């Protein structure tokens, strides 16, 4: 017990020191590593959060409960390295997806993150056939879609981090032990908001992928170990706004003859920030993320109506603001 307290004190002390170092010397670190955005802002979010994840892993490794919910450190490390290369070298988008897919397939197998069944509120349990395509490719596809949808939200300061925090908080409500298992990492994301808001650092692909890989692997892990904890419609609702934006952007880009992975300024957050300030844009986006999911939590019988209303609100915002 005393050893755990001493370790926790050491970890939190190191975490505080790291935050102060990144806050004061982010520009120097960015120049030394070559991780500088075209706007001359360091892209250190991935390094900062990866250190946070490693420190979180050290603490979690010594906990007596919840260890089965710790995402594989090698999985996060491999994804982080690919994304860090992308931050530094600007990898071809399709090459990045291929490399990530190979890594995800391997760790889906290694950590038994297969989707054996889906629990639907309206249709009950659906059991997948014991098929290699379903076992390997479907979970891989789900994580790749999540990674790209989440990455698409990182176009303005603080937004992606706030979404990641929102998702983790909801998972904590569903499984409170997650709070103890991921407290250090959660504090790192929250502290990164200060770095990001003050333009000390951008999150970058490496930061985005660490958050989204952790959330995706955690959802798959929970679904595998506790199949009654989620309805599939509930996960759909939780991830709906980034998912809708991903589908819309892919459709518009392909329709215009462009690559679906070619960046533009047509994302939901770009549309909102053209009309509102950064703070108001973040507030509106967070309302769209959080109000529906907590409305479901309070009024679970209204799940289908909440999903429909959320889709309508998204479409109305795009229709009324994107054209003007």
**Which band of pLDDT confidence, cut at 50, 70 and 90, is reported for residue 133?**
confident
| CB contact at 8 A, 292 and 240 | yes
What single-letter DSSP state applies at residue 203? -
Give the pLDDT confidence score for residue 103 in this predicted structure.
93
CA–CA separation, 237 and 241 (whole Å)? 8
pLDDT at residue 121 is higher than 60: yes
Give the pLDDT confidence score for residue 167 in this predicted structure.
96
What single-letter DSSP state applies at residue 67? G
Give the pLDDT confidence score for residue 68 in this predicted structure.
66
Quote the pTM value: 0.94
**Which band of pLDDT confidence, cut at 50, 70 and 90, is reported for residue 254?**
very high
Give the pLDDT confidence score for residue 258 in this predicted structure.
92
| CB contact at 8 A, 216 and 142 | yes
The three-class DSSP label of residue 284 is helix
pLDDT at residue 53 is higher than 70: yes
Give the pLDDT confidence score for residue 117 in this predicted structure.
80
| CB contact at 8 A, 84 and 100 | no
Tell me the average pLDDT across 213-240. Answer: 89
pLDDT at residue 41 is higher than 60: yes
**Which band of pLDDT confidence, cut at 50, 70 and 90, is reported for residue 5?**
low
Give the pLDDT confidence score for residue 62 in this predicted structure.
64
The three-class DSSP label of residue 36 is strand
Q: Cβ atoms within 10 A of the Cβ of 78, count?
A: 19
Tell me the average pLDDT across 5-9. Answer: 69
**Which band of pLDDT confidence, cut at 50, 70 and 90, is reported for residue 26?**
very high
Give the pLDDT confidence score for residue 69 in this predicted structure.
73
């Amino acid at each position: 017990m005393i050893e755990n307290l001493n370790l926790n004190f050491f970890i939190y002390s190191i975490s505080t020191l790291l935050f102060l170092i990144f806050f004061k010397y982010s520009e120097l670190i960015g120049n030394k590593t070559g991780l500088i955005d075209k706007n001359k802002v360091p892209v250190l979010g991935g390094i900062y959060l990866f250190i946070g994840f490693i420190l979180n892993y050290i603490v979690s490794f010594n906990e007596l409960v919840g260890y089965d919910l710790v995402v594989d450190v090698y999985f996060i490390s491999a994804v982080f390295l690919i994304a860090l290369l992308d931050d530094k070298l600007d990898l071809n988008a399709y090459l990045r997806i291929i490399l990530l897919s190979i890594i995800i397939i391997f760790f889906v197998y290694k950590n038994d993150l297969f989707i054996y069944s889906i629990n639907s509120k309206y249709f009950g349990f659906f059991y997948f056939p014991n098929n290699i395509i379903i076992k390997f490719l479907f979970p891989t596809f789900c994580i790749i879609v999540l990674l790209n949808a989440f990455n698409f939200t990182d176009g303005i300061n603080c937004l992606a981090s706030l979404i990641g925090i929102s998702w983790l908080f909801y998972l904590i409500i569903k499984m409170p032990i997650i709070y103890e298992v991921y407290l250090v990492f959660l504090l790192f994301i929250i502290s990164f908001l200060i770095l990001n808001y003050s333009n000390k650092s951008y999150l970058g692909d490496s930061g985005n992928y660490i958050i989204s890989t952790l959330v995706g692997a955690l959802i798959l892990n929970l679904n595998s170990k506790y199949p009654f904890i989620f309805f599939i419609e509930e996960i759909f609702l939780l991830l709906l706004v980034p998912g809708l934006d991903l589908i819309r952007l892919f459709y518009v880009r392909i329709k215009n003859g462009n690559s679906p992975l070619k960046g533009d300024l047509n994302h939901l957050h770009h549309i909102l920030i053209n009309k509102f300030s950064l703070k108001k844009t973040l507030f509106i986006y967070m309302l769209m993320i959080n109000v529906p999911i907590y409305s479901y939590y309070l009024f679970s019988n209204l799940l289908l109506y909440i999903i429909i209303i959320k889709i309508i609100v998204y479409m109305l915002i795009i229709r009324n603001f994107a054209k003007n």
